[in-house]
Chain A
Amino acid sequence: MILNEYKYELGTIERGYNNRSLYINLSDNTIKEKEVTQFMKDKFIGGKGFGLWYLWNAVTPETKWNDPENEIVIAHGPIAGITQYPGSGKSLVVTLSPLTHMPMDSNVGGYFGPYLKFSGFDALELQGKAEKDVIIFIDGNRGIVQIMESDVEEKDSHLLSEILTDRFAKNEEDKKNVSVVSTGSAADNTLIGLLNFSFYDIRRKAVRLKQAGRGGIGTVFRDKKIKALVVRFEGTKGNLNNPADQGKINKAGIKLHREICLLDDKQNRMRKIGTANIIEIMDQYDLLPTHNYKFGSHKDTYKISSDKFQARVTQGLPDGCWYGCSLSCAKAADDFIPETGPYKGQKVIVDGPEYENAAALGSNIGVFDRDAVLELNFYCDTYGIDTISFGTLTAFIMECYENGILDKEKTGGLELYFGNKEAALELIHQMARGEGFGKIAGLGIRRMKKIFIEEYGADADFLNDIGMEQKGLEYSEYLSKESLAQQGGYGLTNKGPQHDEAWLIFMDMVNNQIPTFEDKAEALHYFPMFRTWFGLMGLCKLPWNDIVPEDNKYTDEPAKIPEHVQNYVDLFNGITGKNIDKHELIRQSERVYNFQRIFNIRMGYGKRIHDRTPYRSMGPVTEEEYLSRQERYDNQLKELVGIDPEGMTTKEKIAALRKYREDQYEKLTDAVYQRRGWTMDGVPTIKKLKELDMDIPELIEVVEQHL
Chain B
Amino acid sequence: MKVLKKDPEKCIACHACEETCSKLYFKEENPDKACLRIKETDSHPEIITCTQCGECIDICPVIAITRDKNGIVRIDQKKCVGCFMCVGFCPELAMFMHDDYIEPFKCVSCGQCVKVCPTGAIYISEE
Contact = CB atoms under 8 A, between A and B. Distances in A.
Contact of B82 (A84, A247, A258, A261): A84
A530 interface: no
Of the four ranges (under 10, 10 to 19, 20 to 34, 35 or more), the interface on chain A belongs to: 20 to 34
Interface in A256-293: 256-261
B102 A324 contact: no
Given A239-B82, A324-B81, A202 B63 contact: yes
A254 B61 CA distance: 15
Contacts of A247: 99
A317 B58 contact: yes
Interface in A218-252: 236-239, 246-247, 250
Interface stretch (B40-48, B85-93, B118-126): B85-93
Contacts of B58: 317
Nearest to B91: A261
B71 to A, nearest CB: 21
B83 interface: yes
Contacts of B62: 176, 202, 323
A259 B87 CA distance: 12
A326 B102 CA distance: 18
Given A238-B102, A254-B97, A317-B58, A324 B85 contact: yes
B84 A237 contact: no
Given A238-B81, A320-B61, A258 B99 contact: no
Interface string B91-123: 000000101001100000000000000000000
A203 interface: yes
A253 interface: yes
Contact of A238 (B59, B82, B88): B82
A257 B87 contact: yes
B13 to A, nearest CB: 25
A419 to B, nearest CB: 40
Contacts of B82: 83-84, 237-239
Q: Which of B58, B62, B88 has the most CB of A within 10 A?
A: B88
A83 B62 CA distance: 12
A261 B58 CA distance: 13
B61 A323 contact: yes
B102 A246 contact: yes
Contacts of A238: 81-84, 102-103
Contact of B83 (A203, A246, A253, A261): A253
Nearest to A83: B83
A254 B87 contact: yes
A83 B97 CA distance: 14
Given A176-B62, A238-B102, A323-B61, A260 B88 contact: yes
Nearest to B82: A238
Contacts of B87: 254, 257
A83 B81 contact: yes
Contacts of A256: 88
B84 A236 contact: no
Contacts of A324: 61, 81, 83-85
Contacts of A250: 84, 97, 99
Contacts of B88: 253-261, 326
Contact of B84 (A202, A239, A257): A257
Interface string A445-471: 000000000000000000000000000
Nearest to B58: A317
5 nearest A-B pairs in the assembled complex, by CB-CB distance: A257-B88, A238-B82, A324-B83, A247-B99, A83-B83
Interface of B: 58-59, 61-63, 81-85, 87-89, 97, 99, 102-103
Given A202-B63, A317-B58, 13 more contacts: A237-B81, A238-B82, A239-B102, A246-B99, A247-B99, A250-B97, A254-B97, A260-B88, A323-B61, A323-B83, A324-B84, A324-B85, A326-B88
16 contacts: A84-B83, A202-B62, A238-B81, A246-B99, A250-B97, A257-B85, A257-B87, A258-B88, A258-B89, A261-B88, A323-B62, A323-B81, A324-B81, A325-B61, A326-B59, A326-B89
